[in-house]
Amino acid sequence: MSLLRSLLFSTPLIILATVILGTLSLIASLFDGTGNSQHRIARVWAKILLAVSLIRVRTEGLENLDPKGSYVFVSNHASLMDIPAILSELPHQFRFFAKRGCTVSRCWELT
């Protein structure tokens, strides 16, 4: 049942949300050099992905973050939903980066 729900419900909605909000983010980038609009759109996208996947995220300690402070947030990538989880919960505008990594079968580089 879970696979069927994923194939018929979650996956199409995730694709639709990604296409629509990705397009909106690209358009917003033409008018907002600060990245604030793109960050807000990314947060909406993340919340939609989590909602249609029936994933709840619990966050503790946000009240300890200084809005004017600088932080490094690190994810262990335990699942494909790490990025949406972080985006949906952290109010700070931030950027993603990844180190180059290799496995036996392939190598990739993300920046």
The Cα–Cα gap between 22 and 28 comes to 10
What DSSP designation does 92 have? S
CA distances from 6 to 1, 2, 3, 14, 53 (A): 9, 6, 5, 10, 8
Per-residue pLDDT tens for 13-64?
A: 999 999 999 999 999 999 998 989 999 999 999 999 999 988 999 999 989 9
Query: In this structure, are residues 109 and 99 in contact, taking their beta carbons and an 8 Å threshold?
Result: no
**Average predicted confidence (pLDDT) for the chain:** 84
Query: In this structure, are residues 12 and 66 in contact, taking their beta carbons and an 8 Å threshold?
Result: no
Q: Predicted confidence band at 111 (pLDDT cuts at 50, 70, 90)?
A: very low
